[in-house]
């Protein structure tokens, strides 16, 4: 599939900032055409558009290799313009999607390396290789609760925000002032859990807390957790996937909460994508995943930085801002 890059609404994710642009039609405007300038955003993900296609007859299994854009993201594993491989299947769920991701990673390793393993430099010196990573399916599946117990020494699910902050401090994490439960969960995840994931073989981190569900369906047997997974190798997140939420009413409630959170964070808030919400009821069940294509190349090529797999990384292409008064 190919979906638009410049869209009316990029998404409501509270911690993402889209790039913005303006469409200004040249006169004369044809009957029924767009009149006047219109603000657009470069999509942070093709998810909304692809789910609208998934709801149509004949689009039960779709994928897209898309350029996506996220303002402010630049590090050894982030670039503000990068590539996502996004896939959806209906009927489908998280379990079936994980199996497809495993097969894809293993096939990529065989094609590029001639074997189902990688020698990552992630977290090591520029010339130093880490231990080999076995990419033969099946990969490890580890619940968030078990991962926190293994790497941070506690189970976060039964704890309220105050108890979670105490547990985080005991694990060596310094919580931010006034951090919410979800902020604390993410901080411990990033500082204590992620670095230990996927060292000998990739790890699917599964069963995220319900408050971290995003666009995922909750587990019908345990609504405290969502049918969401992330794939890690050498401590690096490679993919994020779900059993897709297809209840439009519940999705609207979640997006409205994200609008409120964006407002509290001082970020721009825009209207909900009604065409996306309208399409959900026509999807009986689905599984989907977004794979960081550049990060997958990092793993398979043994790169320590995303800049090593990009021909024009932002860190080199964006000139440093000049000081005032300097030519």
Give how many domains the chain has, as a whole number: 1
Query: 237 in a domain, yes or no?
Result: no
Burial class (CB in 10 A: 0-12, 13-18, 19+), 111: exposed
Tell whether the model's pLDDT for residue 324 goes beyond 90: no
Edge-to-edge strands, sheet with 20-23: 6-7, 38-42, 20-23
Q: How far apart are CA 327 and CA 319, in angstroms?
A: 13
Can you give the residue range of the structural domain that contains 57?
6-25+38-137+249-317
Closest CA to 165 of 148, 149, 187: 187
Query: 209 in a domain, yes or no?
Result: no
Average pLDDT over residues 254-277: 93
Q: What is the pLDDT of residues 80-139, one digit of tens each?
A: 999 999 999 999 999 999 999 999 999 999 999 999 999 877 665 555 677 899 999 999
Query: 129 in a domain, yes or no?
Result: yes
Determine the distance from the C-alpha atom of residue 291 to the mean position of all C-alpha atoms in its chain, rounded to a whole number: 8
Query: 272 in a domain, yes or no?
Result: yes
Q: How far apart are CA 124 and CA 62, in angstroms?
A: 37
Query: 32 in a domain, yes or no?
Result: no
Any residues with CB less than 8 A from the CB of 156 and at least 6 apart, and which? Answer: 144, 145, 148, 164, 167, 185, 188, 209
Determine the distance from the C-alpha atom of residue 125 to the mean position of all C-alpha atoms in its chain, rounded to a whole number: 27
Closest CA to 258 of 182, 158, 194: 182
Q: How far apart are CA 287 and CA 140, in angstroms?
A: 19
Query: 59 in a domain, yes or no?
Result: yes
Q: What is the pLDDT of residues 6-29, one digit of tens each?
A: 999 888 888 899 999 999 887 766
Burial class (CB in 10 A: 0-12, 13-18, 19+), 259: middle
Query: 307 in a domain, yes or no?
Result: yes
Helix H segments across the chain? Answer: 47-54, 94-113, 144-151, 161-170, 181-188, 248-264, 274-280, 293-301, 314-317
pLDDT top residue among 194 and 26: 194
CATH number at residue 278: 3.30.930.10
What band does 320 get if pLDDT is binned at 50, 70 and 90? low
**Residue 227 near residue 94 (C-beta atoms within 8 A):** yes
**Residue 81 near residue 314 (C-beta atoms within 8 A):** yes
pLDDT score of 119: 84
**Residue 76 near residue 305 (C-beta atoms within 8 A):** yes
The crossing angle, in degrees rounded to 10, of helices 181-188 and 161-170 is: 20
Sign of the CA dihedral 12, 17, 18, 23? positive
Query: 11 in a domain, yes or no?
Result: yes
Average pLDDT over residues 27-51: 84
Can you say whether residue 249 is alpha, beta or left, with left for phi > 0 and alpha for psi between -120 and 50 degrees?
alpha
């Amino acid at each position: 599939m190919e979906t638009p890059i410049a869209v009316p609404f990029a998404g409501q994710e509270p911690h993402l900032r889209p790039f913005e642009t303006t469409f200004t039609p040249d006169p004369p405007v044809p009957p029924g055409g767009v009149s006047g300038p219109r603000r657009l955003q470069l999509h942070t993900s093709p998810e909304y558009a692809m789910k609208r296609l998934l709801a149509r007859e004949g689009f039960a299994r779709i994928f897209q290799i898309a350029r996506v854009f996220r303002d402010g993201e630049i590090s050894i594993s982030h670039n503000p313009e990068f590539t996502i491989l996004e896939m959806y299947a209906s009927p489908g769920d998280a379990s079936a999607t994980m199996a497809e991701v495993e097969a894809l990673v293993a096939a990529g390793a065989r094609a590029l390396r001639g074997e189902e393993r990688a020698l990552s430099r992630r977290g090591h010196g520029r010339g130093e290789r880490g231990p080999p990573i076995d990419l033969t399916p099946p990969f490890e599946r580890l619940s968030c609760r078990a991962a926190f117990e293994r790497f941070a020494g506690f189970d976060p699910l039964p704890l309220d925000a105050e108890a979670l902050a105490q547990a985080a401090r005991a694990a060596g994490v310094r919580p931010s002032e006034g951090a919410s439960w979800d902020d604390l969960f993410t901080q411990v995840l990033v500082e204590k859990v992620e670095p230990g994931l996927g060292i000998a073989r990739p790890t699917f981190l599964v069963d995220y807390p319900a408050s971290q569900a995003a666009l995922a369906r909750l587990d019908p047997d345990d609504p405290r957790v969502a049918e969401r997974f992330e794939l890690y190798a050498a401590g690096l997140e490679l993919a994020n996937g779900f059993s897709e939420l297809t209840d439009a009413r519940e999705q609207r409630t979640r997006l409205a909460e994200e609008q409120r959170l964006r407002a509290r964070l001082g970020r721009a808030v825009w209207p909900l994508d009604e065409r996306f919400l309208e399409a959900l009821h026509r999807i009986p069940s689905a599984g989907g995943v977004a794979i960081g294509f550049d990060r997958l190349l990092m793993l398979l090529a043994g790169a320590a930085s995303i800049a090593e797999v990009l021909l024009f990384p932002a860190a080199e292409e964006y000139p440093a801002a000049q000081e005032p008064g300097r030519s």
